[in-house]
Structure 1
């Protein structure tokens, strides 16, 4: 289709501003090849900005574009070189729809990236439009704008996820708690790994941060105190409850081991029967003890009653756990009332939750800070769950940067 009317129709179908189709060729083993060029007769020198229409030479090459149905489409671009009339040096015209040294158009890259976000690199590459190397290059090209410093950041959440479970390979996750959006991911969670990233945001951004929600790790606290002079460190209430639940669960396991040992050593049928009753009460009791009491299902309520009946110590610890949780759940609790109630709870619980009581003492200011604005890292946990899903589906990502770009792009395209 090389008639004037035909090329006009093809230009409209191609729909790239400032570009016209001059010829179309169909290659059975390849697809559709469209010869295209700019509609403008001149271009601006990138050195001095002078407009020039003095053609120096033509430079043609192929790039991939969006497919037409099942047909692959290639654009044979004529990126002309002009001779600058002022500085006398040749320069190539700028074409907005394709980046320099790239074998695909910008709009194809956007489409491929969106496909990767809902699938993975290998599956998208198998469709035959682009290669895995081209996809990784697309992700790399998109990354600079995603790594810019945050704006309007008031509440920051810091947490981590395991890149490789069970191997101590962690990355730090930074979240804007006001918008529940991922800011960045950092390879590693040590202070010396996180600090350069925070410093790159600049003093203006760091000084405007008012609250930082963290888990109970001193390294994060030290970073905030060092770099964010106006920020209040807030201990995430859910991580505080994790401390309580972990100690309760450790006691459950200890009780069970002790009864199993006693049962194995005993030769009295009566004692063995007593131990069996206790073990029956302790079996499958983990979630009945740890889950919020009002959220228990009927079977779990029955299990909770059984374990309380056979193990008075666990019954007391469960009651203390619920009392502590209610301090945070009560919306009328202000910081002063919370301080008093937590102090009373510590006095009653030190016999049963010695480790948690010590942790609360060490982090009391940060725990009480929660009651000012009730800031939590709940949004961080939601983001972390999404990051874990991406990690499990991110087959084809060869290094951390590709995984990071994939994660950042997920929020970029969904904002």
Structure 2
């Protein structure tokens, strides 16, 4: 099994002098057995994210144990029913979906409705990296709309507005400071972004909500169409945005797992079955208790 964690299936089958389908059957047998023995009794926080398995928007949805950094379940699509699949799979070994108290995901409507319906005790936390990504898109749209009018100022400035200030070089810091000093619409949007970043540092929900209300008023009165749209999106997802102050969970762990998954999926190259993809994901990211000897 150790070889299977390190090598693509085709080279492994040649190494073992057996047919690739035999390798898959062995992997599926041991992975399935290991998943049946998983201890899920302490899982209280789950992260949900999608990972593209191939070009053309072919997604798989991953459910991860945020405390133990492991994949719990993999679904083929990203509609609301994947939550039902996860809930059923979670029950089958030794789990109880009612023990899950927190879920972190993006604002995809299917995930939101699925969590509400199939994870009855779970409070949704919208991943604040996703929220900041939405804010960055709004800033970039403002910048793009004004670049033709002010090309000498805004040309090649995109990443200055999108990066965190602490990640800028000395020259970039000087340039962004100059741009911020000007009465630019992009600068106004950027100031709102910096204010939004402060939200994640608050520890008390009531203080955070008062702050967000002021920020919402500022954004909706900014006369920046893209920022107003973003602010209204926050308003529609208010509780899930603020819930970060209670849960302190993000999908940073899930993003790291997905990066590992994308690398691992190359091992299934040439095999189109979703079942093969899922087996590889469980093998490399599910932390299964597998036999230590090779297949």
Q: TM-score, normalised by structure 2?
A: 0.87
Higher strand share goes to which structure? 1
Higher Cα Rg, which structure: 1
Task: Provide the C-alpha distance between the structure 2 equivalents of 1:306 and 1:237, rounded to a whole number of angstroms.
Answer: 28
Q: Deviations over 1:21-74 (max 9, x none)?
A: xxxxxxxxxxxxxxxxxxxxxxxxxxxxxxxxxxxxxxxxxxxxxxxxxxxxxx
**Contact (CA 8 Å) 1:157, 1:214: kept in 2 or not?**
yes
Gaps of 5+ in 2: 290-295
Q: Give the root-mean-square deviation of aligned CA atoms.
A: 2.2
Gaps of 5+ in 1: 1-109, 260-277
Alignment of 1:404 with 2:278, yes or no, is yes
Alignment of 1:344 with 2:214, yes or no, is yes
Secondary structure of 1:184's aligned partner: strand
Structure 2 counterpart of 1:354: 228
Q: Mean alpha-carbon deviation: is it higher for 312-321 or for 132-141?
A: 132-141
Structure 1 counterpart of 2:28: 140
Q: Deviations over 1:327-350 (max 9, x none)?
A: 21x2x5311111011111111111
Task: Provide the C-alpha distance between the structure 2 equivalents of 1:144 and 1:156, rounded to a whole number of angstroms.
Answer: 21
Q: How many Å apart are 1:196 and its aligned residue?
A: 2.8
Shift of the 413–345 alpha-carbon distance from structure 1 to 2, 3 Å rule, reads: closer
Q: How many Å apart are 1:414 and its aligned residue?
A: 7.5
Q: Deviations over 1:134-166 (max 9, x none)?
A: 21222222232244373321001111112223x
Q: Deviations over 1:54-98 (max 9, x none)?
A: xxxxxxxxxxxxxxxxxxxxxxxxxxxxxxxxxxxxxxxxxxxxx
Where does 1:173-192 land on structure 2 (aligned, <5 Å)? 173-192=62-81
Structure 2 counterpart of 1:313: 185
Secondary structure of 2:60's aligned partner: strand
Count of residues in correspondence between the two structures = 281
Q: How many Å apart are 1:358 and its aligned residue?
A: 0.6
Higher helix share goes to which structure? 2
Task: Find the partner of 1:201 among 71, 90, 93.
Answer: 90
Alignment of 1:252 with 2:122, yes or no, is no
Q: How many Å apart are 1:305 and its aligned residue?
A: 3.7
Shift of the 191–412 alpha-carbon distance from structure 1 to 2, 3 Å rule, reads: closer
**Contact (CA 8 Å) 1:155, 1:176: kept in 2 or not?**
yes
Q: Deviations over 1:202-232 (max 9, x none)?
A: 3961111111111112221211221222211
Q: How many Å apart are 1:375 and its aligned residue?
A: 1.5
**Contact (CA 8 Å) 2:46, 2:100: kept in 1 or not?**
yes
Task: Provide the C-alpha distance between the structure 1 equivalents of 2:7 and 2:182, rounded to a whole number of angstroms.
Answer: 51
Structure 1 counterpart of 2:51: 161
- The structure, 1 or 2, with the larger RCO (C-alpha pairs under 8 Å, 6+ apart) is 2
Where does 1:277-296 land on structure 2 (aligned, <5 Å)? 278-296=150-168
